[in-house]
Amino acid sequence: MNRRDLVTLAILGTFAGPRGTGAQQPGLPVIGYLSPQPPEAAAPEVAAFRDGLQAAGFVEGSNAAIEYRWGNNEYDRLPMLAADLVARNARVIFAESVVATTAAKAATPTIPIVFIVGPDPVALGLVASLGHPGGNITGVAILFRELWPKRLELLHELVPKAGAIGVLVNPANPLNASNTNNLQAAAKTLGLRLDVLQASTEHDIDLALATIQERRLDALLVSDDPFLGSRHAQLVALTARDRVPAIYAFRRYVDAGGLISYGPSLVAAHRICGDYAGRILKGANPAELPVQQSTKFELVINLKTAAALGLAVPPSLLARADDLIE
What is the tens place of the pLDDT at every residue in 151-170? 999 999 999 999 999 999 99
pLDDT at 256: 93
User: What sign does the CA torsion over 183, 188, 190, 192 have?
Assistant: positive
Counted residue by residue, the chain has a size of 326
Beta-bridge partners for 193: 164
Give the mean pLDDT per block of 10 residues along the chain (326 residues).
40 39 68 94 92 97 96 93 97 95 96 91 92 96 84 96 96 80 90 95 96 95 90 96 96 94 91 98 96 88 97 96 94
What CATH topology corresponds to 3-143+265-295? Rossmann fold (3.40.50)
Q: How far is CA 276 from CA 28, 252, 286, in A?
A: 18, 25, 8
In order, the DSSP letters of 152-194 are: HHHHHHHSTT--EEEEEE-TT-TTHHHHHHHHHHHHHHHT-EE
Q: Do domains 3-143+265-295 and 147-264+298-325 have the same CATH topology?
A: yes
**CA–CA–CA angle 37, 207, 304 (5° rounding):** 75
Query: φ, ψ for residue 34 (rounded to 5)?
Result: -115, 120
Q: Strand, coil or helix: what is 268?
A: helix
pLDDT at 25: 60
pLDDT at 26: 65
- Model pTM score: 0.77
Extents of the domains making up the chain: 3-143+265-295, 147-264+298-325
pLDDT at 1: 36
Q: What CATH class is the domain 147-264+298-325?
A: alpha beta
Q: How far apart are CA 1 and CA 218, in angstroms?
A: 38
pLDDT at 41: 81
H/E stretch holding 266: helix 266-281
pLDDT at 11: 38
CA within 13 Å, CB half, 178? 12
pLDDT at 308: 96
